[in-house]
Structure 1
Amino acid sequence: MIREANGINHRLSKLNHPWNNGQVGRMNRTINEATVKRFHYEIYQKLQTHLADFMAAYNFAPRLKTLSGLTPYEYVAKIWTSEPNQ
């Protein structure tokens, strides 16, 4: 598996307890604030479309301080190119 080849441990948190993982909890809050807390969706498909658009914008637009000023996409691309055998 890719996870094992990269030395990544798979750990589970308690179901319905996102506060056990701060990064996941914060991302969940960001997604909720940008979608369901701001808009009313008549049908589920509209939520899916908006969520896909939001995630594309999130991954390609903002430069994050925690990633040294890179977008999430740029950070992953940088890691992949700097460690091609991984």
Structure 2
Amino acid sequence: MALVLNSLAENAVALQEGGAAGNGGPAIEQGAAAALGIGLAAIGAGYAERAIGASVVGALAEDSISPGIGILLTVLPETLVIFALVALFV
């Protein structure tokens, strides 16, 4: 594992210095990096909402929480995507 990480680090340094790419610029464009960051944040929020939604439905079926709290808990992971969008525009 350490050999693989060392190899990746050496390749990244060589590309950044202009070795294989020839220009020494970033690996991906700025817009593509922003889209990748926001997309991964949205995937992470969706993954979190999957488990939270199932738990909230179970708790609502047993009448142990109010619907307002259930909605709040379900929407809470979406703040991750909102923070990613704020970071994009700041």
**TM-score, normalised by the number of residues in structure 1:** 0.27
Higher Cα Rg, which structure: 2
Quick one: higher RCO (CA 8 Å, sep 6+), 1 or 2?
A: 2
Q: Which has the higher helix share?
A: 2
**TM-score, normalised by the number of residues in structure 2:** 0.26
